Structure 1
């Protein structure tokens, strides 16, 4: 026989374990804040752009066509691979004196281009904002120098260079986002723990629990009475008696 749970029961469980759920939420938010502000290292990024266009010979001849544009856009995919290759990154490491391997430097570089666009953006990410600028600019400059010998074409021109902002802001971590994620995860864990504890709690609390656990009908219920309830009832009875006495006296006066 399958057990079902109603929305009312769900609400009662959440209300009963609300303190536990809030504790999980606050704990997760606190951990996320500690990790974001004290553990994770801030990362800065900067970008340099170059454009892929027709070769110098085609410019002089005035024979640039839509087909040439389409060819340039298609070749950008090849350029994206070349930029991340040792042929470009090894000279960048030597130029900047980086203590990195080719793969480590490749992880710091992201190459992207808009659809049907001849502009390629090279974004470098590093713990040092100045280093991020240097990596982006040096990578594009060396790519421009090496691509004629690699592809036997000269159709790359630098469009914009990376520049260091006056007050650079890190792109990662994002403390607000991390704390929000922590609160959500904490709420999920808290609710899950609340229902787990409720499921593991096999104590008898209601008449239905008795009938379910013992498989016997309930003949009657004895209510639990506290001393405060007895004193309250006695005071109520005394008050009722005093009121009745006053009414009797008032009636006797009227009769006299």
Structure 2
């Protein structure tokens, strides 16, 4: 029974394949228009730092290295995103941006289980993204030494102007649009067939009226 119904649905989809194709092409076009003309490209720049442990930190808190690193990264992240650091960066670079905007653009992460942290920023302008990261790094290095009593902070990689945008991802958007177009088209075909109660084949008579076929007029 299930196999028969499956074959019927496949036949229905095949007979109205043009609806599925039209739906898919339409969504691909919409996705392309949004990706190329409406969604603004976003660029990401990053810098990595090696930060020494604060003086006497092991005597104060007895954690293992991984937990200690995670705790320190959280602390460093809040310092880098603090209003003090942001306001100084805005002043130094002459940026027309608010503290809240910087906090949303900047992200601080730990590189694996190492003592290296990664400061990254996203912006519609690749030059601004790189400038913002390097500006934060300079101010952060000065502040973290004073606040956390860190022995040394070294820059491993300075932020460079990104050449490629990270958003929108055209391939992913088009793939998602294509899959969605096929699904919507198939649902439309099935809905049309469900709402259609006309008799088209001899089998429909047996199926819906439950009467045997005794003859056919050519």
TM-score range normalised by the length of the shorter chain = 0.7 to 0.9
Mapped contact 2:55–2:150 kept (Cα < 8 A): no
Distance across 2 between alignment mates of 1:88 and 1:109? 12
Distance across 1 between alignment mates of 2:201 and 2:67? 76
Does 1 or 2 have the higher relative contact order (CA < 8 Å, sep 6+)? 2
Q: Report the counterpart of residue 18 of structure 1 in structure 2.
A: 17
Give the structure with higher Rg (CA): 1
String of CA shifts for 1:100-125, please: whole Å, max 9, x gaps: 22221122112111231111111111
Distance across 2 between alignment mates of 1:119 and 1:169? 25
Q: Report the counterpart of residue 33 of structure 2 in structure 1.
A: 34
- Structure 1: stretches of 5+ with no match in the other structure: 59-65, 224-256
How well do the aligned residues superpose, as a CA RMSD in angstroms?
Answer: 2.7
TM-score by length of 2: 0.85
Mapped contact 1:54–1:68 kept (Cα < 8 A): no
- Structure 2: stretches of 5+ with no match in the other structure: 58-62
**How much has 1:214 moved relative to structure 2?**
3.6
Q: How many residues in Structure 1 have an aligned counterpart in Structure 2?
A: 213
TM-score by length of 1: 0.74
Q: Do residues 52 (structure 1) and 54 (structure 2) align?
A: no
Q: Aligned with 1:131: secondary structure?
A: helix
Q: Aligned with 2:216: secondary structure?
A: coil
String of CA shifts for 1:83-113, please: whole Å, max 9, x gaps: 2222322222222222222221122112111
Q: Which is further off, 4-13 or 170-179?
A: 4-13
- Misfit runs of 4+, over 4 Å: 2-5, 55-58, 66-70
